[in-house]
Amino acid sequence: METTAIQVRALSELDIGDIVRIAERTRHAYRPELWEDRVTYYLRRDPEGSVVAESGGRVVGFMLGDVRAGEFGIEEPCGWIEVIGVDPDCGGRGIGRALGEAMLKRFRERGVERVRTMVDRSMPDVERFFESLGFSADTLRSFVKRVHD
């Protein structure tokens, strides 16, 4: 598998099973309903805005996102990368980079000037990954409050 080329293409409904499989490996939870809802959401909004990576005819990674405006005080249309998953068996092959570059290209083609994402500080690998794609820290910060004790 290591020598097989990586191909990136648009997300389709046929990828749900593979996304569930990869997410189960990386997040240690089998949650098909969650991913059915998420994939449907992205497909109905912008099916070309999310991508999967294939190697040897098998889905080995995915990146989901879309273009939105008017959120968090950001009025301009902005590309958002919201979810990324790479099959742990295929790590270190540049799959994440291939997915990221494809997403950035698609966002550029849609005329957006900025692409945003949010990264948990407890995940420095992910932070480094986005920095390697040219992302830098922004002034927008995440706030959270628990409403149930």
Sites of contact with another protein (CB under 8 A): 12-14, 16-17, 20-21, 24-25, 30, 32-33, 36, 39-40, 43-49, 67-68, 77, 109-112
- Helix, strand or coil for residue 7? strand
Nearer to another protein, 6 or 34 (CB): 34
Nearest distance in Å: CB 117, another protein: 18
Cα(106)–Cα(2) distance, integer angstroms: 26
DSSP letters for 49-116: SSEEEEETTEEEEEEEEEEE-SBTTB-S-EEEEEEEEE-GGGTTSSHHHHHHHHHHHHHHHTT-S-EE
Smallest separation, CB 96 to another protein (Å): 21
Q: Which is closer to another protein, CB of 22 or CB of 99?
A: 22
Rounded least distance, CB 28 to another protein, Å:
11
